[in-house]
Amino acid sequence: MTVSYRVCHKTVYNYSCPVTLSHHLARLKPRKTPCQNVISANISVMPEPTFEQTETDAFGNTASFFIVEAAHDEMIITSEFTAEITAPVYPDPSRTLSCAETAARLLSPDTPELLEASEMTNPSRFIPITSEIREYAASSILPDRPILEAAEEIMRRIYQDFKYDPAATSIATPINETLAMKRGVCQDFAHVGIACLRSFGLAARYVSGYIRTHHHENNRETIGGDASHAWFSVYVPDFGWVDLDPTNNMYIQSEHLTIGWGRDFDDMSPVKGIMTGGGNHTVKVDVAVCPITD
């Protein structure tokens, strides 16, 4: 099944004092994948930038850099795109390679695909490998267990053990603190899932994007709509990457839209930058994910 979507992501910064100069890096344009066809994508900034440049980063994501030199006390960044999403076809989890065999292949990669995946076995800025994370993951990631079965159980346990609580954490909250509180948001849950897999030499990456919010038949609302969303992806030898959403306990189907991926949130922050002036500031984010119907 293929579904078309229109997405609008608006970020509004308000400053208590004028900003006289600002440099920003945005990762808001979606990337093309085997299951995602990007029809159009555009980013607009107010005040109008004096310099703009678009590049591809180390992971193949689109990165937009811009400089605003006009004094301003409000900045509005709007990303709009349309895309077609086709539901992926996944392998039978029970027939995937074992965790031990997967880790061995990633430790001695002999193909370009394995070499690229092996980069995602290492700790990163927001995802250190800790004894606490390894202990939490140990009951799920067993040497002879199929890799996708193990990753699926990690996803399910995070969904069951953790409570979605936007007030509990910030992006700077250490992962061990998130693990101890068992609370957080989608970025935290993705980080925990990735850390669990990496702690046993498996490859996992952070995926940033959006999810369509609606009520399922069981009246459970999907979480992550109306804002950026995040999940994790695990590398499965002889198949490729499989995306799992621990916030909603589901494989990615036709309701997730991908912006890009990296080692952790730091690689996929929607907008970050530096400025002179500004004083205190507030940020308001509004996201709309709308299916396009005939």
Q: What is the pLDDT of residue 62?
A: 96
* pTM of the model as a whole: 0.93
Residue ranges of domains in the chain, CATH in brackets: 2-86+269-291 (2.60.40.2250), 93-252 (3.10.620.30)
The residues facing 65 across adjacent strands are 25, 53
Is residue 131's pLDDT more than 90? yes
* 231 CB-near residues (< 8 Å, 6+ apart): 186, 190, 207, 209, 243, 244, 245, 246, 247, 252, 256
Task: Give the start-end residues of each E strand in the chain.
Answer: 2-26, 36-46, 51-56, 62-68, 72-86, 163-164, 183-184, 204-211, 229-236, 240-245, 250-251, 256-262, 271-277, 281-291
Of the listed ranges 55-59, 146-150, 231-235, 290-294, the least confidently predicted one is 290-294
Mean pLDDT score across all residues of the chain:
94
A 10 A CB-CB count for 205 gives: 26
